[in-house]
Amino acid sequence: MQHTLNQTHDPAARSWVDSANAEAGDFPIQNLPFSVFRRRDADKTFRGAVAIGDQVVDIAAWASRAGLEGMAGEAARACAQPVLNAFFSMGPSAWRALRHALFAALHERASSRDRAAIDASLIPQAEVEYTLPAQIGDYTDFYTSIHHATNISKLLGLNGVSPNFKSIPIAYHGRVSSIATSGQRFHRPMGQIMLPGEEAPIFSPSRKLDYELELGIYVGQGNAAGEPIHLDQADSHVFGLCLLNDWSARDIQAWEMQPLGPFLAKNFATTISPWIVTMEALAPFRLPLSRPDADGKPLPYLDSDHNSTTGAIDIQLEVYMETAHHRAANLPATQLSHTSFRHQYWSIAQMVAHHAIGGCNLRPGDLLGSGTISGPERSEAGALMELASNASEPVTLGTGEQRSYVEDGDAIILRGYCEKAGFARIGFGESRGEVLPAKC
Ligand code: MN
């Protein structure tokens, strides 16, 4: 149902909002991603928005001016709140009704009355600020890229990926309080580090601060405790995707992850993009999941023809670094890598189905991280530890500087977009996070 193409995917559709028709823009009429926003320095309260070109549509204001009725009207009213959890909980029919109503009102063939209601509800993106679009109850971070897992196991001198990797979409439960939207600035974490050859740990700022290129997956409708989510229904429980940087302190991680999972190495900052691209907007970019035949089939609760033939999504992903030198010299950020989410070993539906199979209830607004996204080539690595081969081959930036890990003053910028012949390009905007010196 979520994968059906319809008039909102028509590449010929154009909006009367001129900036939406720009070549290679992120937010054409075929995208319509959601966020919450307020006018900078003018509004107190945040409320739901959809992006169109270089504008946002204040959804609830538009719905009220347009006298929007029915399911789309109900959905729009839920978007008046400062978080979108209630809207998420309404499910795919409501999400679709609102998307289609917005599409019709923004389309170049919209009536002058429809145009007027939207026109009065447009605000330039340059004049707004964003915050977390949902009250995130729980955050789970997966580990589902076989290329990332293979690279890391080589760097750690292990013999291949862990034996469970091809059976389980592996994950740990993460931290919500330090998740923030693009623009996040945070202090380099302090922690315990065991230096090579030493017998006792030191307390120090992390010397191996890294980023992880990931997608964030927002749960739309949840499930009751004890009620599994079947694989072929799993996509209808997902509202949409954002960019996610799972900042990681590799040295703190190496010492503390014995024998449990990541803790202080990953609980100090997670930077997400403000816009959520809906699963419906992503429908044209579906592909077969690439699980080699030699790996056999996963257990039945993680296996279906539908998942095998449509489980992958071709989302182009880019990582950039901007140092203080880039800013001082007014140079563009240096691109570090470029890959696609299509290479991921486990699909989003498999992550969701696995998460719930033991009885865990997911709730609207829960956030799942995809795990670091690395492709098959070296230039497609989703973390600096991989790109720089565990500091043995530092990366050279456009400024001439070298990096094995992220230094103070560095910003990491994630960008994402989908492109395919016969469809409009849609984009994710960006996630930008900047590292400040440790507070010690
Ligand atoms: Mn991660």
pLDDT attached to residue 55? 98
Partner residues linked to 180 by β-bridges: 271
SS3 state at 156: coil
CATH 2.30.30.230 in the chain, residue ranges: 7-130
| CA 141 / ligand 1 centre spacing (Å) | 6
Q: Are 26 and 428 a contacting pair, CB within 8 Å? A: yes
**Locus of tokens 């880039």:** 326
* Residue of 148, 237, 343, 354 with catalytic role: 148
| CA 178 / ligand 1 centre spacing (Å) | 14
| CA 69 / ligand 1 centre spacing (Å) | 42
pLDDT attached to residue 440? 80
**What CATH number does the domain located at 139-436 have?**
3.90.850.10
| CA 138 / ligand 1 centre spacing (Å) | 15
| CA 408 / ligand 1 centre spacing (Å) | 21
Helix axes 59-66, 70-78, angle to 10 degrees: 140
Strand stretches in 301-425, DSSP E: 312-313, 316-322, 334-340, 367-369, 395-396, 402-403, 411-418
| CA 343 / ligand 1 centre spacing (Å) | 16
| CA 254 / ligand 1 centre spacing (Å) | 14
pLDDT in tens, the chain (440 residues): 457 899 999 999 999 999 999 999 999 999 999 999 999 999 899 999 999 999 999 999 999 999 999 999 999 999 999 999 999 999 999 999 999 999 999 999 999 999 999 999 999 999 999 999 999 999 999 999 999 999 999 999 998 999 999 999 999 999 999 999 999 999 999 999 999 999 999 999 999 999 999 999 999 999 999 999 999 999 999 999 999 999 999 999 999 999 999 999 999 999 999 999 999 999 999 999 989 999 999 999 999 999 999 999 999 999 999 999 999 999 999 999 999 999 999 999 999 999 999 999 999 999 999 999 999 999 999 999 999 999 999 999 999 999 999 999 999 999 999 999 999 999 999 999 999 999 98
| Domain 7-130 listed as CATH 2.30.30.230 | yes
First to last CA, the chain: 53
| CA 83 / ligand 1 centre spacing (Å) | 25
Distance, in Å, from the CA atom of 11 to the CA atom of 352, rounded to the nearest integer, reads 30
CATH 3.90.850.10 in the chain, residue ranges: 139-436
| CA 257 / ligand 1 centre spacing (Å) | 14
| CA 242 / ligand 1 centre spacing (Å) | 14
Give the global pTM.
0.98
Distance, in Å, from the CA atom of 306 to the CA atom of 289, rounded to the nearest integer, reads 10
Alpha-carbon distances of 206 from 9, 135, 202, 406, rounded to whole Å: 46, 30, 11, 10
Any catalytic annotation for residue 148?
Answer: yes
